[in-house]
């Protein structure tokens, strides 16, 4: 069984995987990181979004071995015990999570967007989460949360 070695949320990990194993399942079933969700199984909904070398990918269709030697960040890698990532805090402050099943993927997509484009327009925010489906919210409070995170990250504080 091949061994997958990667940097996962800042730590070196190695784990035995089958050649066909997909990253989402390895993260959840072998590494116990349940924050990454599986919903559609075909890369349509983005619930399984993680960062690989800073780019967002749908981990439910991403071969685990493709992450060999790369840097993977999951929702568990954001923020610290005592302090949330500003994106996570903004999601709370804008009442963005309803059922919350899409939220880890949404937060990771927002992270990928804001890392690459620190001052995204509303349209760029929409494009940034266009691969993430949500059935609860209509997306509005998620967009507002990302706008708030954008303001806070730019040091403007943001309203409330």
Q: Is 4 in the site for other proteins (CB under 8 A)?
A: no
Asked whether 17 and 73 are in contact (CB, 8 A), the reply is no
Residues of this chain, 22-41, that bind other proteins according to CB under 8 A: 28, 33-41
Residues of this chain, 92-131, that bind other proteins according to CB under 8 A: 92-104, 107, 126, 129-130
Residues 6+ apart with CB under 8 A from 18: 1, 2
Q: Is 55 in the site for other proteins (CB under 8 A)?
A: no
Q: Which of 46, 48, 12, 41 is nearest to 27 (CA)?
A: 48
Give the number of residues in contact with other proteins, rule: CB under 8 A: 51
Asked whether 113 and 124 are in contact (CB, 8 A), the reply is yes
Q: Which DSSP helix (H) or strand (E) runs through 149?
A: helix 140-153
**Least CB distance from residue 1 to other proteins, whole Å?**
14
Q: Which residues bind other proteins (CB under 8 A)?
A: 28, 33-42, 44-45, 47, 74-76, 78-79, 84, 88-89, 91-104, 107, 126, 129-130, 132-141, 143
């Amino acid at each position: 069984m091949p061994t997958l070695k990667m940097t996962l949320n800042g730590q070196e990990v190695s784990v035995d995987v089958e050649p066909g194993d997909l990253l989402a399942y390895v993260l959840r079933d072998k590494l116990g990181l349940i924050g990454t969700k599986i919903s559609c199984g075909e890369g349509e909904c983005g619930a399984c979004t993680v960062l690989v070398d800073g780019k967002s990918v749908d981990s439910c269709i991403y071969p685990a071995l493709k992450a060999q030697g790369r840097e993977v960040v999951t929702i568990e890698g954001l923020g610290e015990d005592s302090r949330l990532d500003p994106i996570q805090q903004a999601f709370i402050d804008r009442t963005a999570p309803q059922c919350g099943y899409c939220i880890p993927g949404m937060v990771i997509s927002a992270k990928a967007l804001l890392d690459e484009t620190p001052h995204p327009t509303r349209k760029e925010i929409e494009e940034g989460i266009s691969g993430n489906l949500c059935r609860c919210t209509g997306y509005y409070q998620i967009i507002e949360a990302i706008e708030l995170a954008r303001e806070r990250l730019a040091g403007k504080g943001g309203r409330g």
